[in-house]
Structure 1
Amino acid sequence: MIAFLGMGLLGANFVKALLKKGAQVQVWNRTAAKASALEAAGAKAFSEVADAVKGANFVHLTLKDDQTVDEVLAAAAPGLKPGAIIIDHTTTSADGAVQRTQAWKERGFTYLHAPVFMGPQNALESTGYMLISGNQEVIKAVEPALAQMTGKVINFGDTTGKAAGMKLLGNSFLVGLTASLSDTLSLAKALDIPASDISALFEVWNPGAGIPARLQRFIGGNFSQPSWELSMARKDTRLFIEAAEKGGTHLAILPAIAEEMDKWIAKGHGNDDWMVIGKDSL
């Protein structure tokens, strides 16, 4: 028996996928109608979270944040089956994952944080990525079940909370990428270039392909042999900002990057590779 707590888009599709595989799933959501809607697919909905977890060997969570996870688990505790395994897919702080792992161990339960790089469609199709770390004996026991829910389970070793940290790193990159795309579209608007032309460019030129090499350059820490000098990158950034100002569009992150470039140029790094602006992050 599986219990699933939190029937947002991700949780609901996880449940639908499990039901298609023949699992018995009990569901709960603070907005009861979202849980009840899954009864048509074969789930059993409960209005009380403690009832939803009764008899479940695995209790999965897809909730909002650390506070919500703690509140829901506290309410569910009276109904937990002895030896139940709690698997939390919520994006939370690393500290929260560590604290919950220890706290629930002291109460006689196994808590495993398993955040995901998966959208609702991935959950429905059992594709995407699920991250885990911590006690390897626990992971060995639950990994076969988790593997059925995702395209790939990535095990980051025996450090509790590392999976939470890796999820935050991945999401931070996505946030920055989205902000960068927003600035690109704003600049295109200022230059009277249609968004369809940007799509056409990226279909031919894939800047993402260079990410592994850029990362290794950061890690290596050698910026003395530039492929793009910082002073030249700053000149281009000035052109971006001036074009956006002339076109009356807003840039979210490029002005902040320009300020960082100016700091490093003032330190004497104008002739270094422009990636030197990330030197202090190492």
Structure 2
Amino acid sequence: MNSENLPIVAVLGTGLIGAPIARNLHKRGFAVRAWNRSQAKAQALSADGIEACASPADAVRDAEVVVTALKDGPAVDSVMQAAAPALRPGTIWLQSSTVGIEAIATLAALAELLGLVFYDAPVQGTRQPAELAQLIILASGPLAHRDTAARLFDAIGKRTVWVSEQPGAGSRLKLALNNWAFALTHGLAESLALAKGLDIDPALVVDVVTGGPMDSAYFQAKAKAILAGDYAPSFSIANAAKDARLVVDAAAHAGVQLDAAQASLWRFDRAAAAGHGDKDMAASYLV
């Protein structure tokens, strides 16, 4: 532990979620090292007092906690394999990426092989909640080191839901929640697109919903973005398509028929094919 009795933390992946996670951990007094495949993104954190490292192994060397915030399961596996020679047995691994049920089993097995204490802890929330330390952490993992894990979760989120002692439960819950978020996104996008197609001002849909039982902060935020044509990514179409595919695959694995989830994936794929992959998932409206 460092002089303040806080663990040294390595954050692997400093994109829309990883960068604010690193900043918020640093603000709460943790010594933070960061690595990203695009080194400029990690270097950008140097101004905040965060040490940018040239490789995953450099980042995790002597770290007591590793946080992975990467695109998908194969990316997490590849980066942790690269970090493995510098990892010490007993290091706590907080896996915050959305990776699906197959990949989380692979990562848990890797953690066991390397002697790491593994927490499956995907986060609910996009760029803005991450920046404000308002993420919801969906955690599963052993009781033994939860106090340490909770100190980090409290630094990056407003709430931690402990789902199970067995890794994988957090990832399964995340898929169910993402399915709901995608349904809301497409439902709004298609309703506004239908209004426009019927020669009705889409803003009238928002006006009628506002203040009623169908209203929500999410509805208002995405509606505002669509009406303004502002698709700066909080969560991109490309990432949404990846996660929607994980939902469909999980449903098939569980033997649950999800017709809307399959349609959701098709719509995200169509938006990506139309060149909107780097835009916010509200760009579902454009297709």
**TM-score surpassing 0.5?**
yes
Residues 1-282 of structure 1: matches in 2 within 5 Å?
A: 1-207=8-214
Is the CA contact (8 Å cut-off) linking 2:138 and 2:161 kept in structure 1?
Answer: yes
Aligned to 1:243: none
What's the C-alpha RMSD, in Å, of the aligned pairs? 2.0
Q: Distance in 1 between matches of 2:55 and 2:211?
A: 53
CA distance in 2, matches of 1:12, 1:140: 23
Paired AA for residue 82 in structure 1? P
Query: Matched residues in 1 for 2:87 and 2:113: separation?
Result: 14
For residue 156 of structure 2, give the secondary structure of its aligned residue in structure 1. Answer: coil
- Report how far residue 115 of structure 1 moved: 0.3
Contact kept, 8 Å, 1:136 with 1:157, in 2: the verdict is: no
Q: Which runs of 5+ in 2 are unaligned?
A: 1-7, 217-259, 264-287
CA contact (8 A) 2:118 2:167 kept: no
> How far 1:208 sits from its partner (Å)?
6.2
Percent identity (aligned)? 32
- Indicate the SS of the match to 2:137: strand
Cα deviation code 1:71-107 (max 9, x no counterpart): 0000011111332111111001123223322331232
Deviates more, 1:1-10 or 1:175-184: 175-184
> Do the aligned residues in 1 keep the contact of 2:84 with 2:114 (CA within 8 Å)?
no
Unaligned runs of 5+ in 1: 210-252, 257-282
Q: Is the 8 A contact 1:101 1:110 kept in 2?
A: no
CA distance in 1, matches of 2:164, 2:118: 16
Length, aligned pairs only: 212
Structure with the greater alpha carbon radius of gyration = 1
Q: Give the letter aligned to residue 177 of structure 2.
A: G
Give the match's secondary structure for 1:178.
helix
For 2:156 and 2:55, how far apart are their aligned partners in 1? 25
Contact 1:95 / 1:161 at 8 angstroms: preserved in 2? no
